[in-house]
A and B are shown apart, each in its own frame.
Chain A
Amino acid sequence: EVQLVESGGGLVQPGGSLRLSCAASGFSFRTYDMNWVRQAPGKGLEWVSYISTNGDTMYYADSVKGRFSISRDNAKNSLYLQVNSLRAEDTAVYYCAREVHGPDYYGSGPPKYFDPWGQGTLVTVSS
């Protein structure tokens, strides 16, 4: 079974740090790009960060650039998100998601989609 399991969330004071982890199983982790997506309480989905298969390409949302760092360990089938300088507005459930590339039937580039998602880990930033 393809599965992603996040951990590492918790209550942290403003300005604090956490390291979120995502353990992958049931598929060849090293062959998939990966993403982090977050959801603030009662709000919609916000893409946070992306990392390529070998870790040489990374992207970040403007809202977290310079404070968050994505990484992966393909030998351990694990994805990470180091979150620093946390603010109240970073309070959210953080999901990891596998990025799948479909066949390019129309010549407009391969479609991409997120499947599956992990169950999420809650980060609460509060004093």
Chain B
Amino acid sequence: DIQMTQSPSALPASVGDTVTISCRASQSISNHLNWYQQKSGKAPNLLVYAASSLQSGVSSRFRGRGSGTDFTLTISSLQPEDFATYYCQQTYSAPPLTFGGGTKVEIK
């Protein structure tokens, strides 16, 4: 199975900050990497697919980059609605389609 490691697990930040979340795969997954946002008590919501493609309707403040084993999600000019938990997911090799452990972006 491909393991996905996210860092950091928690990220204190302030409104207006730019933050970056990292996701590393245990083997190359090409660009088969997705990012989801989950707000408390809600279902996950797709932000970025194929490493860098922004899902329709998602703010351009979100930017995904990377290929192979190393990926990042950058959120520019953090807004109050961006404080949430973010998960990466690999879809290169299945089963299983594995998720990272999550990164909680919290108010500093």
Kindly state whether residue B12 has any CB partner on chain A within 8 Å: no
Q: How many CB-defined contacts (below 8 Å) exist between A and B? A: 79
The residues of A that contact B31 with a CB separation of less than 8 Å are 106, 108, 111
What's the Cα separation between A117 and B45 when bound, in Å? 7
From B38, B95, B98, B100, contact of A60 by CB (8 A): B95
B side interface size, CB within 8 A:
28
Interchain nearest-CB distance for B63 vs A (Å)? 17
Interchain nearest-CB distance for B36 vs A (Å)? 8
Q: Given the known inter-chain contacts A102-B53, A108-B32, please indicate yes or no for A115 contacting B95, CB distance below 8 A.
A: no
Label chain A's interface by main secondary structure.
strand
Kindly state whether residue A119 has any CB partner on chain B within 8 Å: yes
In chain B, positions 1-53 with a C-beta closer than 8 Å to chain A are 30-32, 34, 36, 38, 42-46, 49-50, 53
- Further 13 A-B residue pairs, CB within 8 A, beyond A106-B30, A112-B97, A120-B43: A45-B99, A47-B96, A60-B95, A95-B44, A111-B53, A112-B32, A112-B91, A113-B91, A114-B36, A114-B89, A117-B43, A117-B44, A118-B43
A sample of 27 cross-chain residue pairs with beta-carbon separation below 8 angstroms, ordered by A number, consists of A35-B97, A45-B36, A45-B44, A45-B102, A47-B97, A47-B98, A47-B99, A50-B95, A59-B94, A61-B95, A105-B50, A106-B30, A108-B30, A108-B31, A111-B34, A111-B49, A111-B50, A111-B53, A112-B32, A114-B36, A114-B89, A115-B55, A116-B45, A117-B44, A118-B43, A119-B42, A119-B43
- CB-based closest 8 A-B pairs: A111-B50, A59-B95, A113-B49, A117-B43, A112-B91, A108-B30, A115-B46, A45-B99
